[in-house]
Amino acid sequence: MKRMLRSIALTAMLFALLPMKTWAAEFLIPVGEVIGLQMGSDTLTVVAYDEILGEAARSAGLKIGDELVKIEETAIHGPEDVRTALREQDAAVEVTVRRNGKLNTLHITPRQTEEGPRLGIYLRQGIAGIGTVTYYDPETGRFGTLGHGVSDAKGNLLNMTQGGAYEATVQSIKKGKSGEPGQLKGTASNSMPFGVLLRNTEQGVFGTTPQGWQGEAVETASYEEIQGGPAVIRSTVSGGVPREYSVEILKIYPETRTDGRNFLLKVTDPALLELTGGIVQGMSGSPILQNGKLIGAVTHVLVSDATTGYGIYIGNMLKAAA
């Protein structure tokens, strides 16, 4: 009996030491459509001075990029907090700002207007822009876009407190060239959001929608299946519908890279090169497919060569979305 127990224990130990396959393929719809993204945050950032009312703020040392933290004893989380803190103030107020990670205290005298006291500055809360949808999961209603995070005015990952996804259209294209990245210029075509943004991560922006996108779901590739050579990206750059364009995978980097640069790719499609010059802003998130499987998304363009850029592995996007 003891010999049998030892045998069972040894067998169990050997089984535990056997390598186990951790990759589980998913079936997702590669989308490639442009959408509008609106992301709110809990910080207000100074983006400009009013030409008439802003001299006092400028003279007091308030700088573009400063984050308003507190006015007198009122914590600032939104525009209404600023109005509340300035109400009936007719003398200099103490303004606390965050600059380069450090708190600074300034004293600014508000300008009196018909609408009440004003600091004479323009503030931004959150960010709006366009991106391309990488995938949609018809079983869960979840989607991913961009393949990289959205940063605040100082280059840090935006602390998104709420966000919405909007239908959008491409209005014009600024063609990319060496030293000057191009851009898809678009606008929201509907004022009502069709989806909710849930997470802003270094590997992409993720949300959910009951509306979704139509298309055939394809299998996601394991990292070992990705090869150097021909592939396609799916993007919407003209005509309002996504289409596939040929690219070539030039180099594959370690899967463990989390900066959105898992492989280097080059646009080879003559039609896309004629339209955009290669990879441009707004194409981030364009799904990349190889051998019929979804392998990742376009993330960055090389400033020195608009035809070349980087892609993130789809598995890293899905890990960030989980």
Classify 66 as helix, strand or coil.
coil
Contact 62, 121 (CB under 8 A): yes
Residue 77 annotated in active site: no
**CA distances in angstroms from 254 to 6, 62, 137, 224, listed in the order given:** 41, 44, 26, 11
Residues contacting 276, CB < 8 A, separation 6+: 173, 175, 176, 182, 184, 237, 283, 306
Classify 147 as helix, strand or coil.
coil
Residues contacting 280, CB < 8 A, separation 6+: 173, 174, 175, 176, 181, 182, 183, 184, 301, 306
What is the number of alpha carbons within 13 Å of residue 21 lying toward its C-beta? Answer: 6
Task: List the catalytic residue out of 137, 148, 235, 286.
Answer: 148
Measured distance CA(243)–CA(76) in Å, rounded: 45
Q: Which residues pair with 219 in a beta bridge?
A: 27
Contacts 24+ apart (CB under 8 A), 261-264: 261/299, 261/300, 261/310, 261/311, 261/312, 262/296, 262/310, 262/311, 262/312, 262/313, 262/316, 263/226, 263/296, 263/310, 263/311, 263/313, 264/308, 264/309, 264/310, 264/311
Measured distance CA(13)–CA(108) in Å, rounded: 71
Task: List the catalytic residue out of 137, 284, 286, 300.
Answer: 284
**CA distances in angstroms from 244 to 32, 226, 279, listed in the order given:** 9, 18, 13
Task: List the catalytic residue out of 81, 259, 269, 305.
Answer: 269
Residue 222 annotated in active site: no
Measured distance CA(8)–CA(4) in Å, rounded: 6
* Residues designated as active site: 148, 269, 284
